Each structure stands twice: as structure tokens, then as C-alpha cells.
Structure 1
């Protein structure tokens, strides 16, 4: 945790990840969150390099438009620097990073954004998302293919369509200039917060904790309470009547706060960024031809792939259910046939009979029936024997059942 005047920056590794691939910055005029990707291929390096390059724009600008141009140019320069780094260190092939940055100038803010980190504005107690996620599911939402609720649980909700990295020399970066006023509270965060903490809880934390540091602490705690499966980085910026002081120290958190190292060990194995975009938590490889950022053909290809997988899952479920149902039917038939191989002797009204099956019923299904009636009458049997017959006498097979009847007949004759 660190603070800088009216702002605060926090970065936490989370409860699952082994290292922090996020970087955050709270300066005098500039505020940044960068979420590295690429796993062991260098996500931490990517976010640190990008953030340190963009930090160079933390200086006063006479107009917000100049600030926007400088900020967007800094992101483009960071993208080139990442490509150069990969050229010098091939073991880092596949690294990339999202960036959400905000630069204050002339009573306004210039915003530059790429990826799925976010910028929010709390104004008059109402939270509004300023940036749009550059993700596969957001494209589906924007095109009307799925709803926002479906996007939240979509299996490809982590697929990024745009990042800074070593695959696109001129990535499309969103930028704009927005008005800001005293009382505004700005939030920059990685998806370690926005993917696991609801907007309602984010809004509540920003409203209920007046100090930037306390609000940032609370937001990180909310993510940790959800298990924090990802790194989480938060930068909170308050706007008031007091101008920012150039003497306020800039604050760097996350991987950018650590020494930059390029370790070419087995852990940093070379993987391709397209595979990481499609499967962020797996380092499986993907052919270059299958990666076409922001193209309709690529989007249609992913949609068709999702449909094929959904169809295959349905077929697999149907086959599995059919196999289970067939197994149950076979077991029932086999069980019934087994019961019909058994015999016992019991009372059938006033006479004694040989029964086939077992002395039980399953609902309306009877598992026994009279196999053979006899002339032996219950009243002719001694009381003890009659009681035994009424309670039924089990037989090992049909021949044994007939022998029991013969013994009963012989007892009567005596």
C-alpha cells in the first residue's frame, strides 16, 4: 500500500498466483494501472516496462488535448519498447499487458486505455464505468449476440482482443478527454478487482471511505474476501479545490516497484501471445493464422468454435445420460430376471402354493406370482406347520419347492 497526497495505489498478489504481474502508479498528474499477461513468459516484465515508459508523461500540460496526445503516444512507445525487449530476450516472447491511464491537465482528464483493466468515475454518489473492455465477450455484448449477464459467466470472458505486446506494431488505443470537478473520485483497477467484486460493492467502498487510502484498502479486501484468484491493483484519485503539489512523491506498486530482471530459465518458456489471449491460464501454443485482433473473421471463428464446443458438450451429455439410462434398464431387467429364478412355498387363500420370485413389491410392480397351486389345504396342516407356511418357506430352486410340498402332504397323511 502507498499513497500520494489525494491519491492511493495498492497492489496485491492475491491468494492463488505465485507472482504479481500487475503494476500501478499514482503520481502528481498521472495515474496508471497495467495488468501483465503471459504467465511465466513475462507478464510482470511487460507491465513494469510499459508503466515505466508511460510514467515519463507525468508532468504539467497546458491543455487536456496535449495531455491526451502525449499519453496515447506514450502507450504506443511502450508497445514498441516491449517488442524491442522481446527481440533482445526471446525467452519473453508472448508477454503483453493491458494499460489504463489517466493524465490531469487544465481542469480535465485525458484517458488512454487498452485491454480489460478499467477506469471508473464516482460522481454525486453514482459509479460509472468510463472505459470499455477490449475482450471477446464485450464484442459479443456490443454486437447483441449475448447479454451482459451472460458475459459474466461466459467461458471466454478472459479472452482479450487488444493489448500492448510484441504482436502488433500499431495497436488501437482508446483515448478521450473528460471533464472533472471537485468531489469526483476516480478509480483505476485491474480485472483482479472488477472480475470478482460487483459494481455495487465497488461503489459502496468508494462512497463509505472518505480517505483515498482507506477506500483502496477496502477494495483490495473485497477482492481478497472473494478468494482473490488473480493479482489485484487499485489506484484511487480524489479531485478537490486544492491544486496538486509537485512535491508530492510519486508511488509505484506491483511488479514495477521491483528490480526489472530478465531470467531465461525454464520457467520463462517461449509461448505465443495468441495462445495466451485464447487461454490466459494455459501456455498452449496457437498458430499465428488463428490470431486476428479485432477482425470480424476472427470473431466469427471464435463464435463458431464456441458453438462447436457447446454442441459437443450437449452430445457428450446426451450420450452419457443415455449410457446411464441403458445401464439402469439393463440392471433392472437383470435384477428382475434373477428374482424370477427364485421360488418359495406359501399360502394361497385356503391352500398351499409354490410361488415364483421374491416376497417383495416395487410400487405397483409385483416381484412374485403363483407358479403352481396344490391340493394341500392349510386347515389340514398342524398349527405350527401352518404358521410356517403362512410365513413362507424359501426354496433353493423349483425342485426343492416341490419337495417341500411333498413333505407337507406326507405330514398330513401321517
Structure 2
């Protein structure tokens, strides 16, 4: 069983890699741009495409990543026990998150400009965890040991150097991101001023921070509950910035014992939380075109915030259409608020779409089909938010229908740190 799982993950990543390479060749027949070394942080030259080829050629030696990462952390904590308090008590989510980041890096080394933006933001976020540049050296040492142990006799110096070059590129970008955010607080103290259940597994939290929290409609924050120290999860603000400074979050309870469960079931008005810096690139753009918003589950939150900003500066005649996907009618947790929005804004049309996995992680659900059946969206500005699978499927549908890529806005499709 272990061998089959390992082979399946390797085959999946390899197939995705070949598909991306074929796409690059179609878009640029000579392939020159894909193979040309890129400029990394600090002006250094890093051939991400070359390392991508080498790592992918023997990825089967170290996948699935779960065993590799278990060995990595076991060695690091054995050699550097003082690092253990920087991590949550349960390492399950942390290990899963690192596996997703490894996959993301390997799959995107051919487009370093995209990777740099994600890594710089990640480095700024890591300041709230108490991570310093010296800690990355310990991580590199542990990764090298784990790679050799996991790969066994098939390992080589060339492969190890490719992995370490990839890691050093990522670390340099993260350190640069942390340094560029030095004037920004690593976190904000907040107090829950409202906690409202919107269903058996969804709560709306309203939080006021002790200091002004500067964000834009469509962005998200990481939240830490004192019930789970050192454990941070991403939740989008569901309102545009307000005069009273109160932030609104929509939280769906998922994994037992996680942050979402703590916030939904065990948090009350008056409780303290901490918020990391605002992040995310899916913010409202100043464009007079009609707007399409597509939400899956609690992905509705940032789109409500964007609608709030749109209402304040809407161009004359501009209209908006909001599709909200959920697994069932019962999962449309914000129906009353959506009805109020429709009544308040005559320029807004709301279409609920139920069935499949529209509001959950397993699949995209019926949202892509619903979009294809309705109308031509090629002249719209689009905002898409929800589980990565849904966002990817909706994006593909919109691209196929003629919406230019630069008019489809969503956060990078790196699996979000949510539970």
C-alpha cells in the first residue's frame, strides 16, 4: 500500500509537470523563456527551471512527502530541541502544510516571479511565529538528512544540491519578505465583540483590534486562538474597512480540535485573539466593467467585502452578479444576509447554486456548469473565492469562455492554511 501511494503521488506530480511544460511550449514554441535562468532575490541568478527538471526526474525517491517530513522534524527537534516550542503541540497540520509548499515550489520553479511574491509574503507572516534567519539553517540541515534517509541508495549529490538550491532560494525570498515588513507589527491583539451562529457548523465573529488594522476588501488575516497557542489559520474579512474598526469573519468548523472548531464552538464575546498582518491579492480593482463574483462555502466572506467597497464607488450603470455555491440548501448559511444585499442593491443579482462539493474541499461542485449555462462573461471582471479545487475549475471555465486571465482575480492556488 505504501508503494502504491508513493507511486500515485509521483505520477500525479509528474503528469502535472508535463502538462505545464506542454502549455509553455504551446505559448512559446521555442521554449526559450522557460529554460532561461531567472533573476532571484538580491539580483542573484537562479535557474529554477533546471532544478525543476532535475528534482522532478527523481521525485519518486522522496514521495509521498509525509515520511520525508516526519523524518525532517524528528531530526531537527532532536538536534535543536529549543525549536520545538515555536511549533503547535500537534504537528499534523504543520506537516501537511509543508508538504503542500514542497509541491507548490516544485510545480512552479519555472515561474519564479510568481513564487517570489508568495514566498515574500510567507516570510513576513513568519515573524509572528518568532522565526529568525538562523532557524532556516537548522531546517536546511534537517532536510538534507531526511532526503538522504528517505531516498536511500538512489540519492546523489546533484539531486541534493538541486533541493538545497531550491530551499535557499525560498529562504532568501522569505527573509527578504520579513525584512521588508519590519515596520509592520507581526500581529495585532484583538477582542471578540460578537459571536453569532449561522448554522450548525458556521459562526460569524466580529473582532475589534487594539490598534488600527489596515486592510483592503478581499484580503484575509491569520488568526490565533489562546486555546491553541502557536496555531494560526487564514480567514477572510467579510466586510470592507469600517469606521468603527470592527472586522467580521465567517468561520466554518471542520477538523475536530483545530482552530476553526475552537472559534466556532469554544469562543465567546470578550475572548482575546491575535491577528497576523492582512494578506491576499484578490482586492477590488477600479474598472467600470460589470462584475462577476463566484463563491464556494465561506469563500463568500471576501466577496461580501468586495461588494461593500463596490457599493461605495460603483461606476454608473455597473452591475454585479454573485454566484454562491454550497453542498445543499442547508449549507447556504448566509441566505438572509444575501437577501438583504439583493434588496439593498438593485444592481446586484444573486444566484445560489447547490449540489456536489461546491462549498467543501472534495471537488468544484456545480458552479462551473452554472456559469457556463447563464451568459457570456467575457466582458466582466471576475473574483473567485473558495476551496482551491473550485477556484481552479471556475478559472478554467472562465478562461475557456473568453475572459482574459488578467481579469480573473483570486488568491494564489496554494492550499490555504485552514482547518
Measured against the shorter chain, the TM-score band is under 0.3
TM normalised by structure 1 equals: 0.18
Higher relative contact order (CA closer than 8 Å, sequence separation 6+): 1
Name the larger-Rg structure.
1
